[in-house]
Amino acid sequence: MRHVEEMMRRWLDQKDLDGVLRGELSDIKDKDEIYERFYKDLEFGTGGLRGILGAGTNRMNIYTVRKATQGLADYLNVHYGTGMDQASKASPSAAIAFDSRINSALFALEAAGVLAANGIKAYLYPELMPTPALSFAVRHYHCSAGIMVTASHNPSKYNGYKVYNEEGCQMTLDAAAEVLLLIEKTDIFDGVKTISGNLNLEEGFYEAVLALKERANNNMIELIQPDVTEAYLKAVQNESTGIDCSNLSVVYTPLNGTGNVPVRKIMERIGVKQINIVKEQELPDGNFPTCPYPNPEKKEALTLGLALCEQLTNEGSAPDLLLATDPDCDRVGIAIGHADEAGNTEYLLVSGNEVGVLLLDFICGVKTMPKDPLAIKTIVSSKMADKVAENYGVSMVDVLTGFKFIGEQIGVLEAKGQEDRYVFGFEESYGYLSGAYVRDKDAVNASMLICEMTAYYKRDRKTLIDRLRELYEKYGYYKNDLMEFTFEGAAGMEKMNSILGRLRAEAPSRIIDRDVVEIADYMQSQRRIFGDAGNGDYTAVTKSIQLPKSDVLEYVLEDGSSIIVRPSGTEPKLKIYLSAKGESRKESEEIIGRLKAELKESIK
pLDDT tens for each residue of 112-125: 999 999 999 999 99
Confidence band (pLDDT; 50, 70, 90) for 196?
confident
CA geometry: angle at 588 spanning 584 and 593, to 5°? 145
Q: Which of 46-50, 100-104, 188-192 has the lowest mean pLDDT?
A: 46-50
- The values of phi and psi at residue 374, to 5°, are -140, 140
In DSSP terms, which residues pair with 253 in a beta bridge?
A: 324
Residue 347: predicted pLDDT: 96
Count how many residues are written for the chain. 604
> Can you give 560-586 as a three-state secondary structure string?
CCEEEEEECCCCCEEEEEEEEEECCHH
Name the more confident of 322 and 201.
322
In DSSP terms, which residues pair with 51 in a beta bridge?
A: 159
For residues 483 and 596, is the Cβ–Cβ distance under 8 A? Answer: yes
Residue 537: predicted pLDDT: 56
Compute the distance between CA of residue 36 and CA of residue 7 in angstroms, rounded to an integer. Answer: 12
In DSSP terms, which residues pair with 375 in a beta bridge?
A: 396, 424
Chain-centroid distance of CA 534 in Å reads: 46
Compute the distance between CA of residue 559 and CA of residue 514 in angstroms, rounded to an integer. Answer: 8
Compute the distance between CA of residue 398 and CA of residue 545 in angstroms, rounded to an integer. Answer: 11
Residue 65: predicted pLDDT: 98
For residues 369 and 362, is the Cβ–Cβ distance under 8 A? Answer: no
Compute the distance between CA of residue 320 and CA of residue 314 in angstroms, rounded to an integer. Answer: 14
Confidence band (pLDDT; 50, 70, 90) for 439?
very high
Residues 312 and 424 in one domain: yes
Q: Strand 221-223 relative to strand 121-124: parallel, antiparallel, unpaired?
A: parallel
With DSSP H G I counted as helix, E B as strand and the rest as coil, what are the percentages for the chain, rounded to 5? 40, 25, 40
Q: Return the closest-CA partner of residue 97 out of 216, 224, 221.
A: 224
User: What is the layout of strands, in order, in the sheet containing 274-277?
Assistant: 274-277, 249-253, 321-325, 332-339, 345-350
Q: Which of 92-101, 281-290, 548-557 has the lowest mean pLDDT?
A: 548-557
Residues 59 and 180 in one domain: yes
For residue 203, pLDDT beyond 50 = yes
Residue 415: predicted pLDDT: 95
Residues 254 and 386 in one domain: yes
Q: How many domains does the chain have?
A: 4
Residues 355 and 439 in one domain: yes
For residues 134 and 97, is the Cβ–Cβ distance under 8 A? Answer: yes
**Amino acid, single-letter form, for residue 582:** G
Residue 88: predicted pLDDT: 44
Residues 152 and 110 in one domain: yes
CA geometry: angle at 275 spanning 249 and 353, to 5°? 65
Over residues 158-183, the mean pLDDT reads 95
Residue 604: predicted pLDDT: 66
Q: Return the closest-CA partner of residue 600 out of 430, 428, 481.
A: 481
Residues 453 and 579 in one domain: no
* Residues whose CB falls within 8 Å of the CB of residue 554, separated by 6 or more in sequence, listed in order: 379, 518, 519, 520, 522, 527, 562, 563, 564, 565
Residue 363's domain is classified under what CATH number?
3.40.120.10
For residue 215, pLDDT beyond 80 = yes
Over residues 566-574, the mean pLDDT reads 83
Q: Strand 422-427 relative to strand 374-378: parallel, antiparallel, unpaired?
A: parallel
Compute the distance between CA of residue 584 and CA of residue 478 in angstroms, rounded to an integer. Answer: 9
Over residues 226-253, the mean pLDDT reads 98
Name the more confident of 174 and 432.
432
For residues 263 and 443, is the Cβ–Cβ distance under 8 A? Answer: yes
Residues 262 and 303 in one domain: yes
**Amino acid, single-letter form, for residue 305:** G
For residues 113 and 194, is the Cβ–Cβ distance under 8 A? Answer: yes
Over residues 173-181, the mean pLDDT reads 93
For residues 424 and 434, is the Cβ–Cβ distance under 8 A? Answer: yes
Q: Which of 8-17, 74-83, 439-448, 589-598 has the lowest mean pLDDT?
A: 74-83
Residues 31 and 51 in one domain: no
Handedness of CA 372, 374, 379, 382 (dihedral sign): negative
Over residues 473-495, the mean pLDDT reads 89
In DSSP terms, which residues pair with 579 in a beta bridge?
A: 480, 562
Residue 35 sits in which domain range? Answer: 1-39
For residue 217, pLDDT beyond 80 = no
Compute the distance between CA of residue 452 and CA of residue 245 in angstroms, rounded to an integer. Answer: 6
* Residues whose CB falls within 8 Å of the CB of residue 50, separated by 6 or more in sequence, listed in order: 60, 151, 154, 158, 159, 160, 161, 570, 571
For residue 377, pLDDT beyond 70 = yes
Average pLDDT, the chain: 93
CA distances from 66 to 174, 306, 338 (A): 22, 41, 50
Q: Would you list the DSSP string of 1-60? A: -HHHHHHHHHHHH-TT--HHHHHHHHT---HHHHHHHHSSPPP-BTTBEEEEBSSSTTSB
For residue 169, pLDDT beyond 80 = yes
* Residues whose CB falls within 8 Å of the CB of residue 279, separated by 6 or more in sequence, listed in order: none
Residues 407 and 284 in one domain: yes
Residues 463 and 496 in one domain: no
- The values of phi and psi at residue 132, to 5°, are -60, -25
Please say which residue of 475, 505, 523 terminates a domain.
Answer: 475
Please say which residue of 189, 224, 259 terminates a domain.
Answer: 224
Chain-centroid distance of CA 466 in Å reads: 29
Q: Which of 136-140, 227-231, 516-520 has the lowest mean pLDDT?
A: 516-520
Residue 592's domain is classified under what CATH number?
3.30.310.50
Please say which residue of 224, 259, 290 terminates a domain.
Answer: 224
Residues 271 and 409 in one domain: yes
* E-assigned strand segments in 197-287: 221-223, 249-253, 274-277
Residue 532: predicted pLDDT: 60
Residues 24 and 57 in one domain: no
Q: Strand 526-532 relative to strand 538-544: parallel, antiparallel, unpaired?
A: antiparallel
- The values of phi and psi at residue 349, to 5°, are -75, 145
Q: Work out the percent of the chain whose per-residue pLDDT is above 90.
A: 79
Q: Is 481 helix (H, G, I), strand (E, B) or coil?
A: strand
Residue 305: predicted pLDDT: 98
Q: Sort 504 into a burial class: Cβ within 10 Å, 0-12 / 13-18 / 19+.
A: middle
Compute the distance between CA of residue 72 and CA of residue 77 in angstroms, rounded to an integer. Answer: 9
Confidence band (pLDDT; 50, 70, 90) for 488?
confident
Name the more confident of 491 and 539.
491
For residues 566 and 378, is the Cβ–Cβ distance under 8 A? Answer: no
Confidence band (pLDDT; 50, 70, 90) for 533?
very low
Please write the tens of the pLDDT for every residue from 44-99: 887 789 999 999 999 999 999 999 999 999 999 999 975 444 444 568 999 999 99
Handedness of CA 382, 383, 386, 388 (dihedral sign): negative
Q: Looking at the annotation, which residues are catalytic?
A: 152
